[in-house]
Structure 1
Amino acid sequence: SYARLMNQLLKTDLLILDDWGMQKVTVQQRQDLMEVIEDRHGRGSTLIASQLPTEHWHDYIGSATLADAILDRLLHGAHRLNLKGESLRKAKAQNTESVDPS
């Protein structure tokens, strides 16, 4: 059920949000995200993996008021790792293509 899922998200030690910013956020998703982030604030760790730079997150979330509240909780005291370089998936695919199986 929805309530059980929300409870599990709140209790987990590490919540991983992968591919953050890949799809538009609906009104309901914004509200759910705010609820999860608010309830987890100070209780558990949240890891966000994204190709979207943090300066674009506010626009991605949409609603200015909710975006301010969500980002304040997410980014306050956050540790950021900005990775640069070629895609490892792309490099791996190129290596696979160059191997002659015969």
Structure 2
Amino acid sequence: DLFIVPLDAKERPILLEIIEDRHERKSTIITSQYPSSNWYDMIGDPTIADAILDRIIHTAHTIELYGDSMRKLRAKKSQSL
């Protein structure tokens, strides 16, 4: 789950390096509970955010899931047994 908390100064360049290494070479699956429109603020540094999101967003296949939490549904089912 990417961006549960904002990235700190040490994490930003690490994420950038990972994304750069994989960009146009390997598939990368990113999950987040936040929409991609919020990611810029979660990265923190505008220059690094531009570099990371440029490589992710423009070539992404986005799947948005809606509905109740599966954990909640499973918990309700197990309680009723």
TM-score (norm 2): 0.94
Q: Which residue pairs with 1:75 in the alignment? A: 57
SS at match of 1:33: helix
More strand by share: 1
Unpaired stretches in structure 1, ≥5 consecutive residues: 1-18
Q: Which residue pairs with 1:21 in the alignment? A: 3
Report how far residue 32 of structure 1 moved.
0.7
Q: Runs in 1 of length 4+ with deviation above 4 angstroms?
A: none
CA distance in 2, matches of 1:35, 1:28: 12
CA distance in 2, matches of 1:75, 1:46: 12
CA distance in 2, matches of 1:74, 1:67: 10
What's the % identity of the aligned pairs?
A: 47
Matches within 5 A, 1:29-68: 29-68=11-50
Tell which has more relative contact order, 1 or 2 (C-alpha 8 A, sep 6+).
2
Unpaired stretches in structure 2, ≥5 consecutive residues: none
CA distance in 2, matches of 1:96, 1:37: 40
CA distance in 2, matches of 1:28, 1:54: 21
- Asked which structure has the greater CA Rg, the reply is 1
SS at match of 2:29: strand
Report the number of matched residues. Answer: 81
